[in-house]
Every structure is written in C-alpha cells, then in structure tokens.
Structure 1
C-alpha cells in the first residue's frame, strides 16, 4: 500500500492522491489496469477469466437482462459450479424490475437448481416504495480474488448489438489485477453478507498479489459510495479532481445533471482558465434527461466550457480525465441518483498511459459529435428549451 508522502508536488494527481489518502480511501500501487472499451471486449475478457476460475466467482450487477449474453453467462457459471467453484451473484431488485427482459421467479429457480447462488438486493416489499431511495448500481466482478472488473456495463446483449431506438451502445469497463482487487472483493462481500445474513470471508478470498512488473505498477484508488456510511465520498472525489485541474478536464457521462457541488467545481475551474470539455449523447434511454443535461450544459458553455453531443449511438461511459495525469472509470453517473442515493464504485487511476488511452478515444469520438454553440442553441425550438428548463427542476431526483 502507498504511504503518505513527506513532500507533495502540487500537481493535480498528487493533490487528489493526498486528499484521498487523508480521507481514508484505500490506495495501492501494484496494480495492472486494462481498459475494455466495448461490450464485446468486456464480455470476451470476463468470460475467459471465469473459465479459468478455480475457487469462486462473485458478480454484483444492477441487472442481468434475460437475453443471450446472460444465458451464456449462466451456462458458463453452471459449468463452474459443477466443477466445485463457488458462484455468487447479486442483482438490484429495482434494476431487474425496470429491465424490459427481467429475470423472473422461474428463471431464478432454474439458475439456483444449477448450483448458482443468486440473490436480489433489497427485494420489493409492501408498500413497495422501500427501494426508491437506495439502489445497488454497482457493476463488480471478482474471480478467485485475483482479477476484478468494474465500469458502466451490466449484463445485456445491447452492449454488443445496440438498441433500435438509440443505435450503438458505447460503454467502458476495466479489468484490474493487484491489491485494488481486494477492495472490490470487500465491497462485494459486505453487500452479500448484508443481504444473505451469511458470513462469507477469510484469507481464501484474499489470496494476495505478486508485485507487478515496473511497466504495470499502476496506482489505483477504489472510491466506493455506500449510503449512510460514506455518502459524499464519491462526490467529493469528483469535485476535488475537478478543482485540482491545472490544464484540462475531459468528461464523458450519459446523464449529465450534476449536483450543486460538482456544478460549482466546474464553474470555478472554468473561471480559472482550465479547459473543460464535456461530451454527452444526443440519444438517451431515459426521457427528458438529455433536455435537462443540455440546459445545464448550455450554462457551462456560456461560461467557457466546450460541449460536444455524441451522435454515434448512446455513449454510456462514465469517465473523466484530468491534466493527462489521471482518470476515473466506474459506475457513477454525474447526477443526484448516483451521487446522493445509490451504491456506486469508481476506480481512480493515476497513470499517464491509461489516461492517454482514454484521451485518444475521447478525441476520436469528437469526430462523431456536434459541438454546442450559441448558433446551435438558437436553433432549438421553444418547446425543447422549455422541456430542458422543466426537467431541470427535477435534477435533485434524477
């Protein structure tokens, strides 16, 4: 584990590392990070890791869509269970209910009959509003305590095939090896034991990690948001990262209706002359959200931000790159739902090569964007402008 430094250079990455360390966030420096920049990359990599599992497979997702990729996953998990591998999966009750291809009782029964433990997080009970406040929006996979995954993707075909109404689904995931895996394992086991009343744990789930080579000694901080325990930590980590920027901030986020603290950080950073560039999708899977986002983004554009609307499908990635020095990839949207209510997990990656790889993707995606300009805004219909203003009234709950 990294130790607090005696002297800290006032660069954005060192400032944020110091802030996270002082806040008690686990930071490790012997990690290997692989970016998985499409659904196809993510599922090929994840399935291969599961095939190699010897002791356990732990999966925590907002939802498993009842489609071909999920069925293939459960077939593979059943094979691993027959081999004696412990298989534990948990999904969010609301995420399943809001999914148009949910896992129903009959599906869960068949899955359990194949030796797979599968649990709903916070099942619906009368009066059925108990789940409105806090949802488990994480996407975490841990295999044998040695390799882990997190990012924006659930288990669904559309991450590969897209959806008819919005086209290609662009998303981002990462694979981790090293001590950061232990932190994702702890997060999974905490929620699993909480929901099942089991007491799963011990050294067998934390086998330790050999030192990586010099080329892969990447510093990673796992920033988790658990309601009522560290409710504001993820929001603070985002805000501090933005405040620390000295040259540039690049953001891609699908539901850009930021909380007041994030919005304030962006305004003040723009005012300091830092180049802030934000990319959101023209299309969305949630009504009114694009209008609310454009209302917010128009104000930031007038202040000096560069705003792009991605036209190549739905960009669902939740990433941010700062000063070409560090980045974050994870599950959190820049909205109230993620930053004030839900269970979320982001990896903050302090590595110039990983950040450069994300920036290269960012600049390539700009080629498929329309830039927001004063002329663009004038062409928007009065109805669209009103819809954005009206939707913005609900941003504390979106």
Structure 2
C-alpha cells in the first residue's frame, strides 16, 4: 500500500513539474530569457524526456500522390521488414495495390506487419471486412486490429489509435495526416480535393517511430518483436544538412498531456509568428490559453481551417472559437480549395511540426497520436510558402463576414461548442 502511494506521489510530482515549466515560461517575457523559440522548445522537450536526434533527413510530401509514390517505392526496396500502423486502410484501389505489393515482398522473404484501428475501420464507408482480412493473411501479411470491439462495447470508445506510421527496414519512416485511401488522390464528391501533409524521415528519428510501432504491436499481439535488425545504426546525412527532429508521442495513461504541452510551449515560445493549419480546430484550454497570451504579446497568430469538413458540426464549432480569437487579434482564414486535413504548425520561421494530432479534445486527451517536431529553417520555410499560397484560396474571417452569418449558423456554432470536450 505504501509503495502504491509513493508511486502515485512521484507520478503527480512529475506532472506538476512539467506544468511548472510551462507556467514559468508563460509568465516571463521572451526578451528576459534571451533564448530563441526553438531553443526554448528543444529545452522543454529534452527535460520532458522526449527523444531528440540531430542526424536526420526530412522530405515533405505535400499531396496524397507524392506520399503514395514515395511510400510504394520505399516498400519495393525493402529487404527485411515493412511496418504499417494506420487509423484505417480503406478497402479501395490504393489499399488493394498496397496489399498486392506487400504480398510480393512477403514472397521475397520480407516480414510485413500492419495494424489498423478497429473504430477507424468501422467508421469509414469502405472498411476491411473479415473476408478481406482472411485473404490478406492468406498472402502472408500479418494484419491485426487495434482494440477490436468486444462486449461491453462502450469500453472501447475512448482511446483510439489515430497514428499514421510506416517504417521500412528501420531505415526510412513516414508519419503525417494521411491514412491509406483513394480520396487522398481523388478527393471526395461532397468536399472536393483532399489536401494533406506527410513526411519521409531518414536517420535516428526512424528508431523512435519504430519503437512506437513495436511497443503497441507487441502489446496488442503478445509477440516480442525487437532487436538490432529493427534498429540499425544510422550514419550522418551526408547529402543534406543534418536536421534535428523530436518525435512527440501521445500514449494514453503514459504521457497523456505531452503532445498538448508541446503544442502549448511551441505557441507560447513564439516571438514573431505562429502559422497553424488544422482541420478540426476546437482547441483544449491549454492551447487556447497559449494562443491568447501570444496574441496579447503581439505575436502574429494566423490560423487556417477548411470551410468544408467530413465531420458535421465541427466547422461551426471551429468558427465559434476562431471568432473569439479573431476579435482578440488573430488572423483567421477559411480554406475553400477542398478539405485541408493537414496538421501542421510553423513558429518564428525556425521550426515546425507535422503529424497526426488535431487541435481538439479527441486527439489531445484521448487518442494515440504522433507528431514530428522539425527544427529546420528550410523545411519550415517550405511549409510557410505552401501556407501563403493557400491563402489565395481562402476567405478571411472578418467582423463583416461574421455579421453576415445567419442567426441559425451562429446558434449551431454556439451549440456545437458545448461539445468541445468530446469533439
């Protein structure tokens, strides 16, 4: 009993210490600290135990076509293993082509492991059914559901695996906002073109993504996959500048607030600007507080969300929140060129994050999520260039625009906002 009390006390102390770091930095002006925003965030991540490596090569994949061409080519070159962890594999042409390719790799002696979320599979309109899974497994591909639904079903509602991770031979890894589905290339009839962002990473950060995959794979399958074959040594990147990457992972009941704190710290550390693209913008209190305080300090906070969405009520709830931020001083754009599903943020032109986390309660309080924080001016500039180009396809949220919204739309936004803790 005493041991349990001691462990609980230690756990609460660690959480309190992490919160104290954030609060102390939030209450001191940036010029009195004398550190740049990237230095502050790197220090915070290091003190929080986040794996950080400095010998990485990063490539941005700014469309579904780019992502799948790159991923398929990397899989074709696989010699030892292919690991895939996705919220869902849609039963469509791109997924079928992927499983055909994976089956060919199995014939070559490559180990193939794939995992998808049971809820993510159930919630898409072209799910992998038992007959599909049977055929996939008959071809030598290990594929499992994360947390399959069993009675009582409500037990499985909270913590879903929303990650998108691919690791090939422990040498190349991918993460970002894209699942395996045709609509990342062809769009959807109701919302048009589907915009999204993914990253290809080479270097020591691949080991961090591999560790995340194998931890959940071994837990779910009761296997014990690991060893040097899955964690090869990575030489420094000689053909490009070595890039510092921190892989920030959110695992429920283990480091539940880490990703939320990393976002909040990044926003508050900003001295010049924060640019955000996020599809379901109904931020938690810590993110909202960081945004408010940064705006009050004169930081240029610019947020882009989509006018269209694949989830009802979310755009209205987002606009309700964004209207308040706009009145406080933020610049808000509504993207009209389709559905911008990217989860990216750029700070001070110094660093950025690309990953799976939405700025809502579902991602930051419940789900398994993974973001790459990339400390590189060139990569950040590439994202900022895309951001400014996308503004040409946006409508700015202004007081005049808000006045033109119907009373009904305003009411729907207010009502949807009441469900923020669950969106």
Please report the TM-score for the alignment, with normalisation by the length of structure 2: 0.92
Where does residue 17 of structure 2 map in the other structure? none
Shift of 1:207: 1.0
Out of 240, 244, 249, the residue aligned to residue 269 of structure 2 is 244
The question of whether the paired residues in 1 share the 8 Å contact of 2:30 and 2:271 is answered with: no
The question of whether the paired residues in 2 share the 8 Å contact of 1:324 and 1:352 is answered with: yes
* SS of residue matched to 2:167: strand
* SS of residue matched to 1:130: helix
Post-superposition Cα deviations, 1:243-291, rounded to whole Å, max 9, x if no partner, equal 0000000000000000000000000000000000000000000000000
State how far apart, in whole Å, the 2-side matches of 1:58 and 1:6 are.
45
The question of whether the paired residues in 1 share the 8 Å contact of 2:208 and 2:247 is answered with: yes
Post-superposition Cα deviations, 1:117-153, rounded to whole Å, max 9, x if no partner, equal 0000000001211221100000000000000000000
Post-superposition Cα deviations, 1:179-233, rounded to whole Å, max 9, x if no partner, equal 0000000000000000000000001101111111273300000000000000000
Post-superposition Cα deviations, 1:316-342, rounded to whole Å, max 9, x if no partner, equal 000000000000000000000000000
Shift of 1:4: 22
Is the alpha carbon distance of 1:387 and 1:353 closer, same or farther for their aligned partners in structure 2, counting shifts above 3 Å? same
Out of 286, 289, 294, the residue aligned to residue 319 of structure 2 is 294
Post-superposition Cα deviations, 1:337-387, rounded to whole Å, max 9, x if no partner, equal 000000000000000000000000000000000000000000000000000
State how far apart, in whole Å, the 1-side matches of 2:261 and 2:91 are.
36
What 5-or-longer segments of structure 2 have no aligned partner?
Answer: 1-25
* SS of residue matched to 1:214: coil
* SS of residue matched to 1:238: helix
* SS of residue matched to 1:6: helix
Is the alpha carbon distance of 1:6 and 1:362 closer, same or farther for their aligned partners in structure 2, counting shifts above 3 Å? closer
Is the alpha carbon distance of 1:76 and 1:6 closer, same or farther for their aligned partners in structure 2, counting shifts above 3 Å? farther
State how far apart, in whole Å, the 2-side matches of 1:5 and 1:27 are.
23
Post-superposition Cα deviations, 1:12-64, rounded to whole Å, max 9, x if no partner, equal 00000000000000000000000000000000000000000000000000000
- For the pair 1:48 / 2:73, whether they are aligned, the reply is yes
The question of whether the paired residues in 2 share the 8 Å contact of 1:81 and 1:116 is answered with: yes
**Number of aligned positions between the proteins:** 398
State how far apart, in whole Å, the 2-side matches of 1:290 and 1:5 are.
34
Q: Over aligned residue pairs, what C-alpha RMSD do you find?
A: 3.0
State how far apart, in whole Å, the 1-side matches of 2:66 and 2:30 are.
37
Is the alpha carbon distance of 1:10 and 1:198 closer, same or farther for their aligned partners in structure 2, counting shifts above 3 Å? same
* SS of residue matched to 1:7: helix
Alignment of 1:160-175 (within 5 A): 160-175=185-200
The question of whether the paired residues in 1 share the 8 Å contact of 2:62 and 2:197 is answered with: yes
Post-superposition Cα deviations, 1:279-305, rounded to whole Å, max 9, x if no partner, equal 000000000000000000000000000
Q: Which stretch of structure 1 is more off in the superposition, 209-218 or 154-163?
A: 209-218
Is the alpha carbon distance of 1:138 and 1:388 closer, same or farther for their aligned partners in structure 2, counting shifts above 3 Å? same
State how far apart, in whole Å, the 1-side matches of 2:27 and 2:175 are.
22
The question of whether the paired residues in 2 share the 8 Å contact of 1:4 and 1:21 is answered with: no
The question of whether the paired residues in 1 share the 8 Å contact of 2:161 and 2:368 is answered with: yes
Is the alpha carbon distance of 1:197 and 1:91 closer, same or farther for their aligned partners in structure 2, counting shifts above 3 Å? same
State how far apart, in whole Å, the 1-side matches of 2:193 and 2:272 are.
32
State how far apart, in whole Å, the 1-side matches of 2:41 and 2:365 are.
21
Shift of 1:6: 19
The question of whether the paired residues in 2 share the 8 Å contact of 1:227 and 1:342 is answered with: yes
Alignment of 1:1-398 (within 5 A): 10-213=35-238, 215-398=240-423
State how far apart, in whole Å, the 2-side matches of 1:26 and 1:212 are.
18
The question of whether the paired residues in 1 share the 8 Å contact of 2:30 and 2:269 is answered with: no
* SS of residue matched to 2:156: coil
Is the alpha carbon distance of 1:7 and 1:222 closer, same or farther for their aligned partners in structure 2, counting shifts above 3 Å? farther
* SS of residue matched to 2:359: coil
State how far apart, in whole Å, the 2-side matches of 1:269 and 1:110 are.
53
Please report the TM-score for the alignment, with normalisation by the length of structure 1: 0.98
Is the alpha carbon distance of 1:4 and 1:209 closer, same or farther for their aligned partners in structure 2, counting shifts above 3 Å? farther
Is the alpha carbon distance of 1:5 and 1:322 closer, same or farther for their aligned partners in structure 2, counting shifts above 3 Å? closer
Q: Which has the higher helix share?
A: 2
State how far apart, in whole Å, the 2-side matches of 1:203 and 1:119 are.
24
Shift of 1:2: 28
Which ranges of 4 or more aligned residues in structure 1 deviate by more than 6 Å? 1-8
What 5-or-longer segments of structure 1 have no aligned partner?
Answer: none
State how far apart, in whole Å, the 2-side matches of 1:346 and 1:291 are.
26
